[in-house]
Amino acid sequence: MVWDHVIKNGYIYTSTDFVKGNLYIKDGKIAAISEMELEGEAKKTTDAAEQYVLPGFIDTHVHSRDPGATYKEDFYYSTQAAAAGGVTMIFEMPNTNPPINNVENLRKQEDNLTPKAHVDFGIWGICLGDLNMKDIVPLHEAGVIGFKFFWGYAINSQTFQLMYNYKEGDEGVIPPLPDGEVYDIFKEVGKTGQIIAIHAENNQIIQRLTKKVEESGRRDYEALLEGRPNLAEEMTIQSGIAMAKKLGTRLHILHVSTGEGVELVRQAQREGYPITSETCPHFLFLNNEDYEKIGPQMKVYPPVKYKKDQQALWQGIQDGTVSIVCSDHAPHTEEEKDGDLWSIPAGMCGVETLAPLLLNAVSEGKISLQQVCELLAENPAKQFGIYPQKGSLAVGTDADITIVDMSKETVIKRENLHSKSKVTAFDQFPVKGIPVATIVRGTTVMENGEIVSEPIGKMVKPVANSEKVICSL
Ligand code: DOR
Ligand code: ZN
């Protein structure tokens, strides 16, 4: 046998354990895993002694802004950043220009992204209410990874772009959708059996409270939180869960930022509903007190809240309520982020720092390496219907592999990031435990921090019905 690549002597993740052994790759697939050395020649050999061989990490929440605001980021850059951070697959968000609101735009998007893709990718479809209700089922059939609904966001009626700082009465804008229309979105997505993922912030609360604090002239972070309080997230999650329960829709709560949010999801899961949630490193590793040091780079929607929320999110990870950690990679330029707290856009880079930050949490004893494999690989793949092709090291599946060195230490430096924008809240953050190789369907894309391959990424579509899979979570 001639193996394409043999990874030797690593601690290989088995889904329940780590075993020391060798992993054999042939034709882009995992061909064998063995504690003994198998016969044959190897075209490439990697010595992974004292390193961990893990299922390729998946970042389910990335805004590469391609096509659209490609001066901030594009897929060539974001997928290099992904590979540099040990991520073998990203799910690309649909608020591009044009948005992924119908099958034609989905097909064009696959053609646009593929030649730039350093890692594999799924593509989200967007829900715009009545504007694309008829496109939901066709988008499902054409292979979107899930459906995203920006609940509470106004949309530019020409470009369908999100309005970050929308004010009631703004012109050329589709205001946030009324609940009746949202109910119909849930119903329509429910027909597909796929996930509806919601950005959960109640716009009416935000409009009213923000106006008051803004008028007071305050520009401090506390003012931002008074205008966008925990209650805004709590109310939307509550409505979403109520609708999902009624309609049987699979609901996923994006970037949960509050303890109230975690508790609502926990309750719904206890009652047996297929409701899942994710959070992001900025909610796990930062709280409002960090604003003084970090400044406007830290502004995201929903905003980073309080220490008690941070603790509740960790608790949610420990008991499984929060089953995915993703980056919400949302780059803006330095100039855009440098300004008045009220007017600058929300979002920061994250796809490259996601895994190092979580691996550092392993080094600090906050979570186990097994939990990282679940949060970054197994759970996303299972929930979105691409397991075990993705998210596992099972023989016969795609050779998507992240090799990690838990003894390696570094400091995150903004200038070293591979994304076009370098806006991060984690500049100068020391981390222990870093990805040293990223392998996508057998091709080594990153080695020791360097991108070593041309774009080879492909679009991945979920298998038709993943409902059975989600029950095993
Ligand atoms: O902070 C954010 N940035 N939150 C969002 O919901 C959108 C994102 C973006 O696209 O910039
Ligand atoms: Zn987002």
Residue 329 per-residue DSSP state: B
How many Cβ atoms sit within 10 Å of the Cβ of residue 180? 8
Mean pLDDT, to the nearest integer, of 357-382? Answer: 98
pLDDT in tens, 239-266: 999 999 999 999 999 999 999 999 999 9
Residue-level pLDDT at 168: 83
pLDDT band at 464 (very low <50, low <70, confident <90, very high): low
Mean pLDDT, to the nearest integer, of 205-219? Answer: 93
Query: Closest ligand 1 atom to the C-alpha of 345?
Result: 11
Q: Which two tokens stand for residue 84?
A: 């540099």
Q: Which two tokens stand for residue 119?
A: 């890692």
More confident residue, 370 or 466: 370
Strand order in the sheet with 173-174: 162-163, 154-156, 173-174
Cα-only R_g, the chain: 21
Q: Is 300 in the pocket of ligand 1 (CB under 6 A)?
A: yes
pLDDT in tens, 264-316: 999 999 999 999 999 999 999 999 999 999 999 999 999 999 999 999 999 99
Residue 90 contacts residue 121 (beta carbons within 8 Å): yes
Query: Closest ligand 1 atom to the C-alpha of 153?
Result: 6
Query: Closest ligand 1 atom to the C-alpha of 346?
Result: 1
Q: How much distance in Å is there from the Cα of 312 to the middle of ligand 2?
A: 21
Q: How much distance in Å is there from the Cα of 272 to the middle of ligand 1?
A: 30
Q: Distance between CA 73 and CA 64 in Å, rounded?
A: 6
Q: Is 228 in the pocket of ligand 1 (CB under 6 A)?
A: no
How many Cβ atoms sit within 10 Å of the Cβ of residue 290? 16
Residue nearest to atom 4 of ligand 1 (CA): 301
- Residue at token pair 């759970």: 379
Angle between helices 230-247 and 203-215 (to 10 degrees): 170
3-state SS, residue 262:
helix
pLDDT in tens, 401-438: 999 999 999 999 999 999 999 999 999 999 999 999 99
pLDDT band at 163 (very low <50, low <70, confident <90, very high): confident
Q: How much distance in Å is there from the Cα of 433 to the middle of ligand 2?
A: 26
- Which strand (E) or helix (H) includes residue 6? strand 5-13
Residue nearest to atom 3 of ligand 1 (CA): 347
Best residue for ligand 1 mutational test, from 282, 300, 424 (most atoms within 8 Å of Cβ): 300
Q: Is 250 in the pocket of ligand 1 (CB under 6 A)?
A: no
Mean pLDDT, to the nearest integer, of 160-174? Answer: 84
Mean pLDDT, to the nearest integer, of 195-220? Answer: 94
Residue-level pLDDT at 230: 98
Residue-level pLDDT at 169: 85
Peptide bond into 67 cis (omega under 30): yes
* CA dihedral over 158, 160, 164, 166, signed as positive or negative: positive
Best residue for ligand 1 mutational test, from 70, 95, 301, 348 (most atoms within 8 Å of Cβ): 301
- Residue at token pair 């951070």: 85
Q: Distance between CA 434 and CA 451 in Å, rounded?
A: 15
Residue-level pLDDT at 167: 83
Residue 48 contacts residue 9 (beta carbons within 8 Å): yes
Mean pLDDT, to the nearest integer, of 176-192? Answer: 97
Angle between helices 179-192 and 230-247 (to 10 degrees): 50
Instruction: Give the strand pairing for 2-3 and 29-34.
Output: unpaired
What is the number of alpha carbons within 13 Å of residue 462 lying toward its C-beta? 27
pLDDT band at 343 (very low <50, low <70, confident <90, very high): confident
* CA dihedral over 205, 207, 210, 215, signed as positive or negative: negative
The contacts of residue 88 (CB under 8 Å, 6+ apart) are 56, 57, 58, 82, 119, 120, 390, 400, 401, 402, 438, 439, 440, 445
Q: How much distance in Å is there from the Cα of 471 to the middle of ligand 1?
A: 30
Closest alpha carbon to 439 in 28, 21, 20: 28
Q: For residue 65, which ligand has an atom nearest its CA?
A: 1
Q: Is 152 in the pocket of ligand 1 (CB under 6 A)?
A: no
Helices (H), 74-220: 75-84, 103-113, 136-142, 179-192, 203-215
Best residue for ligand 1 mutational test, from 63, 156, 348 (most atoms within 8 Å of Cβ): 63
- Which strand (E) or helix (H) includes residue 310? helix 307-318
Domains and CATH numbers, the chain: 2-47 (2.30.40.10), 52-451 (3.20.20.140)
Quick check: 473 pLDDT over 60? no
Q: Distance between CA 239 and CA 196 in Å, rounded?
A: 13
Q: Distance between CA 258 and CA 223 in Å, rounded?
A: 17
Residue nearest to atom 6 of ligand 1 (CA): 301
Peptide bond into 356 cis (omega under 30): no
Q: Which amino acid is residue 203, in one-letter code?
A: N
Residue-level pLDDT at 471: 33
Q: Distance between CA 64 and CA 214 in Å, rounded?
A: 31
